[in-house]
Amino acid sequence: MALVNRSRRGRLPGWVALVWLSPALVLIAGVVIYPAIELVKAALGEYSITGLRTGSAGLSNFRKVLDHPDLGTVLKNTAEWVVAVVAITIVISLGLAQLLSKEFFGRRVVRWAIIVPWAASLVITARLFTLLFDFYHGLINRLLVFLHILPRPVDFLGDDHWTMPSMILVGVFVSLPFTIYVLLAGLSAISDDVLEAARIDGAGPWQLYRQITLPLLRPALLIASVLNIIYVFNSFPIVYTLNDRNPGYAHDTSITFMYKLAFKSAEHSVGMSAAAGVFNVLLILVVVMIYLRVVSWQEAVR
Amino acid sequence: MALRKTALLSGITAAVLGLAACGGGTGSGSNNNNSSGSKQVSSIKLVAAEYSADHTKAFWDQFAATYKQKYGITLDVQIISWNDIAQQSTTMVQNGNPPDVLNINYYSSYAKDNLLYSADDVLPASVQSDLLDSFKTSGTFNGKLYGFPDLSSARALFYNKTLFSRAGISAPPKTWDEFEADAKKVQALGNGVVGYAEPLGPEEAQAEFSIWTFNNGGDWKDASGKWTVNSDKNIQTLQFLKKLSVTDKVTQNNPGKTNRTDGAFPLFTGGKAGMIVGFGPLSGTLDKDKKVDYGIAPMPTNGGIAPQTYGVTDYLNAFKKNGNQQALKDFYELYYQPDQVNTFIKAEGFLPVTKSGLDVFKSEPALKVYIDTLPNVHLTPNQDPVWDKVLLAVQQQIGAAVAPSGDPKKVLDALQKTAEAGG
Amino acid sequence: MTLLSGARADAAAAVPVAAPRPAGWRRARRFVLPLAGFSVALVFLAPYLVMLLDALRPSSDVLASPPTLFPRQWQWNTFGTVLSDDRFLNWLKTSLLVAASSTAIVLVVSVPAAYATARFKFPGRTPFLLLVLVTQMFSPTSLVVGIYREFFEADLVNTYLAIILTNAAFNLAFAVWILHGFFSSIPVEVEEAADLDGCSRLGTLWRIMLPLTKPGLVTAVVFTFIAAWNEYVVALTLMQDDAKKPLTVGINSYVTGYSQHWDQLFAASLVAIVPVVILFAVIEKYLVGGLTAGSVK
């Protein structure tokens, strides 16, 4: 079946389109738009430590967030976290999706195994890795020392040099299944005829991949990367749980920073936290817009 | 085939929505916010923190059943883990929907916001006179008692008898010098053993620091109510804790980033730590595992003062809502019945909060160390709403002081500033 | 110029002789691929195998130092204890109900929306697609306060309906985007053929289009189910009765600052993984195949 074509679109009066879209619109309005408005309202309020609203704060919450001494660290961490996890995940997923698209004995079982990190709750996986990374009772240290890769145990979660890499490892680990799955769906849409034809014309495997497969994977790659950027940016359990023992904000990303502002810091202010939440949304919105522009999404999606 | 799938899907959706809508039941208890003030509520809500999977829910379920039977009012119980209760309670208050009773670890900020009933409103006189004086004082804000304790715990020095005898230590240390020497001896045993497990991570850093500094004559505030976070005694304490880790190297790795639950406690319960500051629930774990031969002793002191016991209580805050005053009175009357409150305390492995409770627990030999000192227990300044914020600041900042590059004086100075600025 | 002709042109410009596959590759392939596959599977499963071993030892051994891979002392009754715990069974039932219902609603809502955006041009089409994406950008942690208020006003706190609707709304974006992609890639000729045969647009959608987008539907189902199954913050805030908590919230009870049952925590978590893997195993075969058949012919 030819994958590439022009799908002609009919013109539709607005109200008919509304009928097709209305259930989605209602759900989104209810569960996202209304709370988003509440978020902005909260950001404009002054709150006591108990959560009681004590008046209007104007824009002071926003100012306080921008003036926060740890904001720079948090933003830097966020950038490292998102870029590293998404990039590494996509690269590994491309390879693994390729592997899993080939027929081989036991492929089914392998595909089931891949789903497990995604099937398990993030909170539990994060807690498990907190145990695995520990200095004293962590198996990772035990294994690496046993294999003489490390001379002595490393404080993966407490040592400032190792905390971010540890977080990234877990982030990649839990993002791989979903990404592989999306790319597999994309790969399955590429018919063998196209590949066979190119091969007959003399294309080597690498040429095949770069000039046929990758371009045809563009829609899937787009979905995978955009959604990954958003999900990794908003990912809370991994960063929070792995940093449970770390005081301050040294390794927090903007999402855990927002949470701690509300409930764990001396500020304990839901107003400031809401302001940080608004900034978060704006930040990810800008990042995604730029990303989409850069990969010229209009073309790929048509 | 597609049509069948459609039909099936629609059928499932319809069935599910129908089920969910009628099976769910309404949310917050009805009649909670009546405009006619004199009408009494028919149900109240308790948000209880979960101390343990085995006991907390079981206790409150039977309590609710008894309460309903006795007073005819429904008690809706929501159990929330300690990790989440800060977020949940704040969200409830933020939305103008606090529970009627909130079990949480602070009260004075709620009292300051005028959200709570005082003891005069909801606590029977017999209960008021039965509460231990130290807790009454600690629970009094602006001259009124708002902080009703649900249970208490006291901390003491736990030591591993086996490691002590191997290291040639005959008795637990009484002074800081003895403590340091003992820790060094245990550390010298090697094989992954640490002399003292020191948790100064964010979980309960204020507890670890408090107990040490109280036994050095330091405190968070002085008698006049002025903040003394960066007093000389406090700085000396923090320097001592840093010395143990950085210079003497008798603690576990990175104490500023170690919590109790998954860091310090497992070392002690696994027999890998010579000493630790412990409390009731730790005894419970040790007794269950039967792996460690342990002893409990008063904390070592510095400067020849008498040992101070550091105590902690959590609270059952009574929220003002229309028509719930009588129901709350009934609640506290029932809760502080000896067969209720002490049953709860015993099951969870904590200490009593009433004088009558002291009598009940006096007969337990294992608790002698605590019971004797409980009436004079030393608490953190919970009656000051500013402390609620300082506590959080301490948890987030004090761990940095015991790192190799840490500066105890600087950290405490910063905390002092936070305290003086009102949090 | 379509991509296909572009590829052909490129290929034609290359060496005219067909590049032969290395002779041994076909034979080695039969062994190398399964080996690679199983190694990958092992890496993905390794932490959860550790979790399994942790469930089969006393809680005190989980955090013992130094750690051992295999239990110092085996404990075989953990799964039995957890599975006979009424609290756990209630949490499991809730999770199943919520995840299944949310998935059903997402399908019912996203299919028409994705079809409309793929096939029709109408004012607000692009904004709608972007809106759907933007809604994903709000972290549930930010939204939970507003969600709580909303359901509180509607007296729907502590109802299954509330978290089912919430989960459905949160996962719409992905479903719409991926179905949009699949609907777009089906040639118009297919629909035109059906139209000529007298099928209504709705009929075409159900009978012809949907089967062709099976991989997309399956992906949306798996994605939504898992997302709803593992959702935490909103369920924590809205579900107040212990029996109505889903597994993610409920299993927190096993480990507290005062009482730790790591063995039960991990046993419960492993049981929680099973329904998802079963669902996946059942519908995974629909992911591949179906599309490569010549539907245009």
Asked if C142's CB is within 8 angstroms of A281's CB, the reply is: yes
Q: Are C249 and C236 in contact (CB under 8 A)?
A: yes
Asked if C229's CB is within 8 angstroms of A137's CB, the reply is: no
| B285 close contact with C: CB closer than 8 A | yes
Residue B163 or residue A178, greater confidence? B163
- The SS3 assignment for B73 reads coil
Residue C189 has pLDDT above 50, yes or no: yes
Contacts of B26 in chain C (CB under 8 A): 155, 158-159
pLDDT band at B27 (very low <50, low <70, confident <90, very high): very low
| A203 close contact with C: CB closer than 8 A | yes
d(CA C223, CA A175): 12
Residue B19 has pLDDT above 90, yes or no: no
Comparing alpha-carbon positions, the chain A residue that sits nearest to C54 is: A128
Who contacts C127 (Cβ-Cβ below 8 Å, separation ≥6)?
none
Asked if A264's CB is within 8 angstroms of B94's CB, the reply is: no
Share of chain B above pLDDT 90, in %: 86
Residue B170 has pLDDT above 50, yes or no: yes
Asked if A270's CB is within 8 angstroms of B253's CB, the reply is: no
**DSSP 8-state code for residue C253:** G
B310-318 and A53-56: which strand pairing?
unpaired
Q: How far is A179 from chain C (nearest CA, A)?
A: 11
Asked if A121's CB is within 8 angstroms of C247's CB, the reply is: yes
What tens digit of pLDDT does each residue of A148-158 get?
999 999 999 99
Residue A295 has pLDDT above 60, yes or no: yes
Q: How far is A206 from chain B (nearest CA, A)?
A: 40
Residue B106 has pLDDT above 60, yes or no: yes
- The SS3 assignment for B252 reads coil
Residue type at A227?
L
d(CA B202, CA B208): 11
Residue C287 has pLDDT above 90, yes or no: no
| C202 close contact with B: CB closer than 8 A | no
pLDDT band at C5 (very low <50, low <70, confident <90, very high): very low
pLDDT band at A11 (very low <50, low <70, confident <90, very high): low
Cα distances from C168 to residues A118, C93, C104, C112, in angstroms, run: 18, 18, 8, 15
- Residues paired with B45 in a beta bridge: B76
Comparing alpha-carbon positions, the chain C residue that sits nearest to B95 is: C149
What tens digit of pLDDT does each residue of B216-251 get?
999 999 999 999 999 999 999 999 999 999 999 999
Q: What integer pLDDT is reported at residue B112 of this predicted model? A: 96
Mean pLDDT for the stretch of residues A211-236: 90
Residue A177 has pLDDT above 60, yes or no: yes
Q: What integer pLDDT is reported at residue C203 of this predicted model? A: 75
Q: Tell which of C122, C186, C218 to mutate to test the A interface (max A CBs under 10 Å).
A: C122
Q: What integer pLDDT is reported at residue A17 of this predicted model? A: 73
Asked if C65's CB is within 8 angstroms of B272's CB, the reply is: yes
A53-56 and A45-47: which strand pairing?
antiparallel
Q: Are A128 and A121 in contact (CB under 8 A)?
A: no
What tens digit of pLDDT does each residue of B370-387 get?
888 888 899 999 999 999
Quote the tokens at residue C275: 């329904």
Q: What integer pLDDT is reported at residue B422 of this predicted model? A: 86
Q: Are C132 and C170 in contact (CB under 8 A)?
A: no
Contacts of C143 in chain B (CB under 8 A): none
Instruction: Please report the number of interchain residue pairs, chain A to chain B, with beta-carbon separation below 8 angstroms.
Output: 110
Asked if C259's CB is within 8 angstroms of B285's CB, the reply is: yes
Mean pLDDT for the stretch of residues A164-182: 95
Range scoring the smallest mean pLDDT among A277-281, A297-301, B57-61, C215-219: A297-301
Q: What integer pLDDT is reported at residue A46 of this predicted model? A: 95
* Peptide bond connecting A13 to the previous residue in cis, omega within 30 degrees of 0: no
Range scoring the smallest mean pLDDT among A175-179, A207-211, A231-235, B273-277: A207-211
Q: What integer pLDDT is reported at residue C14 of this predicted model? A: 45
Share of chain C above pLDDT 90, in %: 56
Mean pLDDT for the stretch of residues A90-104: 93
Mean pLDDT of all residues belonging to chain B: 90
Comparing alpha-carbon positions, the chain B residue that sits nearest to A49 is: B109
Mean pLDDT for the stretch of residues C290-295: 30
Q: What integer pLDDT is reported at residue A12 of this predicted model? A: 58
Q: How far is B354 from chain C (nearest CA, A)?
A: 22
Residue C130 has pLDDT above 70, yes or no: yes
Q: Tell which of A3, A6, A7, A223 to mutate to test the C interface (max C CBs under 10 Å).
A: A7
Nearest to C101 among B6, B20, B289 (CB): B20
Quote the tokens at residue B291: 């792996």
Return the closest-CA partner of residue A183 out of C215, C34, C229: C215
Q: How far is B364 from chain A (nearest CA, A)?
A: 34
Q: What integer pLDDT is reported at residue A10 of this predicted model? A: 59
| Element of type H or E holding A101 | helix A71-101
Q: How far is A59 from chain B (nearest CA, A)?
A: 19
Q: What integer pLDDT is reported at residue A301 of this predicted model? A: 52
Residue B5 CA to its chain's centroid (Å): 54
Residue A42 has pLDDT above 90, yes or no: yes
| A51 close contact with C: CB closer than 8 A | no
Nearest to C295 among A1, A6, A184 (CB): A1
Contacts of B53 in chain C (CB under 8 A): 87, 253-254, 256, 259, 261, 264
Residue B198 has pLDDT above 50, yes or no: yes
| B236 close contact with A: CB closer than 8 A | no
Q: What integer pLDDT is reported at residue C11 of this predicted model? A: 44
Q: How many residues does chain C have?
A: 297
Residue B98 has pLDDT above 90, yes or no: yes
What pTM does this model have? 0.89
Q: What integer pLDDT is reported at residue A5 of this predicted model? A: 40
| C73 close contact with B: CB closer than 8 A | no
Mean pLDDT of all residues belonging to chain A: 89
- The SS3 assignment for B346 reads helix
Return the closest-CA partner of residue C208 out of B5, A189, B2: B2
Cα distances from A281 to residues A228, A238, A250, in angstroms, run: 15, 19, 22
Q: Tell which of C214, C256, C266 to mutate to test the B interface (max B CBs under 10 Å).
A: C256
Longest CA pairwise span in chain A (Å): 74
**DSSP 8-state code for residue B51:** S
Mean pLDDT for the stretch of residues C223-251: 95
Q: How far is C109 from chain A (nearest CA, A)?
A: 6
pLDDT band at B3 (very low <50, low <70, confident <90, very high): very low
Mean pLDDT for the stretch of residues B345-349: 94
**Which stretches of B171-301 are DSSP H helices?**
176-187, 205-214, 232-246, 265-269, 280-289
Mean pLDDT for the stretch of residues C16-27: 60
What tens digit of pLDDT does each residue of C34-86 get?
999 999 999 999 999 999 999 999 999 999 999 999 999 999 999 999 999 99
Mean pLDDT for the stretch of residues C79-107: 97
Asked if A116's CB is within 8 angstroms of C44's CB, the reply is: yes
